[in-house]
Structure 1
Amino acid sequence: MHLNLKEIFTAFMVLFAVIDIIGSIPIIIDLRKKVGHIQSEKASIIAGVILIVFLFLGKSILNLIGIDVNSFAVAGSFILFFIALEMILGITLYKQEEHTSVTASVFPLAFPLIAGPGSLTTLLSLRAEFRTENIIVAVILNVIIIFIVLKTSSRIERFIGQNGINIIRKVFGVVLLAIAVKLFAHNIKALFELT
């Protein structure tokens, strides 16, 4: 075990920015209104497990089904793009499914909102640069923050207010759109270089 605080902090900040749990507060609040209750512990643990499993098996799984990391990232950029459009324009592009508190904890909360294509491809990028144990610590720290935000989202909503939530939603929608465009541009370029 070679824990390195600089690596842990860098990996933590990169994952925190990509997961963007603060920007997801409006989505969490909407989901809580639809289902009444979100199982915060379950959502956090499932998201953490998905992230750690993908850290170890991600590249192998993608290779097994014949998909390279760049193609996976391009597909992920489309999902992020449409979620960002929903946030900015206040429209619904995805078919509303009837969620129970259990299914809402897994989908869309744990996956793809927390452990989504952006965070999964980021993990693969981090693995090329940092030691695995440092990335695992960074993932665990992010899961703790995710749990705190999920548990206190109704208090955060009361503190910020509906107008504040709407402003945050639009601002983070633009940020998410920028991340989607960057993810798409970087990986489509890499795909063309491979051919």
Structure 2
Amino acid sequence: MAFCPATSSNFLGLYFSVHISSLCICTRFLFFLYKENFLLLKDIMEINHVFGLLLVKVFIMLFVIMDPAGNIPVFMALTKGMSGSERKKELNYAVLVAAILLLLFAFLGRIILSVLGITTNSFMTAGGILLLFFSFDLLRGEHKYVVSKESGAGVGAVPLGTPLLAGPGAITTVMVIIQSCGAFVVLFAIFSAILATRFLLGLSERIYRILGKVGSEVLSRIMGIIVAAIAIEFIAGGLRGMFF
């Protein structure tokens, strides 16, 4: 009879020891899962943050090069004498033409480059040089379309849609973006820049009254400095890819 309590006590001790060990193992496993999930979540948040900054960067880049603020005086001159509905129609036509051209060059540009045997780095360098000269025109205020007396209805496609909005600078930019960042990024850049341009030019009368011609020209020159900085980045990136 003395043997049974001892055996029972040993059994209970072994039982609790096993359960405590199991509990410790489960706790460590849960902590491991929490730690791994936390690190994974942290990595995902960092990736999303970097990707979000990239989207903002490409939007600003294309928006600045399209220069809707600097094109406000030209848009006002081209649509002078038109009714509100006619002006809105021409503006919608302009952004549609610009969007189609940018999409075509973005997605067909790679095919053109491969047929011609041009590398991405050489195109990026050449595009940067082109943007640099374009920025000089912005700084001098010489990039604007000269409005003639014959200007009137039908100005949405030419010159507003192209070359003012979808000009050589914007076309070069989308071709570089799609080759360095991918299709989704360039689609986001094009559509966000087009929508922002449509919104800004839709408020052109109010903005022009506030800024005036001088204010618009000053803003355009500030955009020229930013475009010059973007051009230097393109040139530096292309040269690094070719020689380093």
TM-score normalised by length of structure 1: 0.73
How many residues are treated as equivalent by the alignment? Answer: 185
1:28 corresponds to 2:79: no
The answer to whether structure 1 residue 16 and structure 2 residue 78 are counterparts is no
The alignment yields a C-alpha RMSD, in angstroms, of: 3.4
Q: Distance in 2 between matches of 1:83 and 1:161?
A: 24
Name the stretch that deviates more: 164-173 or 178-187: 164-173
Mapped partners of 1:30, 1:136: distance in 2: 28
8 A Cα contact 2:102 2:190, kept in partner: yes
Cα separation, partners in 2 of 1:107 and 1:54, compared to 1, 3 Å: closer
> Residue 25 of structure 1 aligns to a residue in which SS?
coil
Which residue of 115, 121, 135 corresponds with 2:176?
121
How much does 1:7 deviate? 8.4
Distance 1:181 1:51 in 2: 22
Q: Secondary structure at the match of 2:118?
A: coil
- C-alpha change, 1:126 and 1:21, in structure 2 (3 Å) is same
1:1-195 superposed matches below 5 A: 9-10=52-53, 12-21=55-64, 24-32=67-75, 35-36=78-79, 39-90=90-141, 92=142, 101=155, 102-112=157-167, 115-127=170-182, 132-133=183-184, 135-193=186-244
Cα deviation code 1:21-75 (max 9, x no counterpart): 4971354134325533673212222222233334433322210122222222222
Structure with the bigger RCO (C-alpha within 8 Å, sep 6+) is: 1
Per-residue Cα deviation, 1:152-191 (whole angstroms, up to 9, x for no partner)? 2232222223343233222221111111122112212323
Query: Using the alignment, how far apart are the partners of 1:166 and 1:97 within structure 2?
Result: 16
Percentage of matched positions with identical amino acids? 22
Counterpart contact for 1:15–1:119, Cα < 8 Å: no
Q: Distance in 2 between matches of 1:22 and 1:68?
A: 23
Kept in 1: contact 2:97–2:162 (CA 8 A): no
Secondary structure of the structure 2 residue equivalent to 1:116: helix
1:100-131, Cα deviation, whole Å (9 max, x unpaired): 6132133212421674212321122120xxxx
Which stretches in structure 2 are left out of the alignment for 5+ residues? Answer: 1-47, 81-86
Indicate how the Cα distance of structure 1 residues 104 and 153 shifts in structure 2: closer, same or farther if over 3 A, else same.
Answer: same
1:137 shift after superposition: 4.7
Checking the alignment, whether the CA contact within 8 Å between 2:62 and 2:170 is kept in structure 1 is yes
Partner of 2:17: none
The gaps in structure 1 that reach 5 residues or longer are: none
Could you tell me whether the CA contact under 8 Å between 1:88 and 1:170 is conserved in 2? yes
Larger radius of gyration: 2
Distance 1:160 1:173, change over 3 A: same
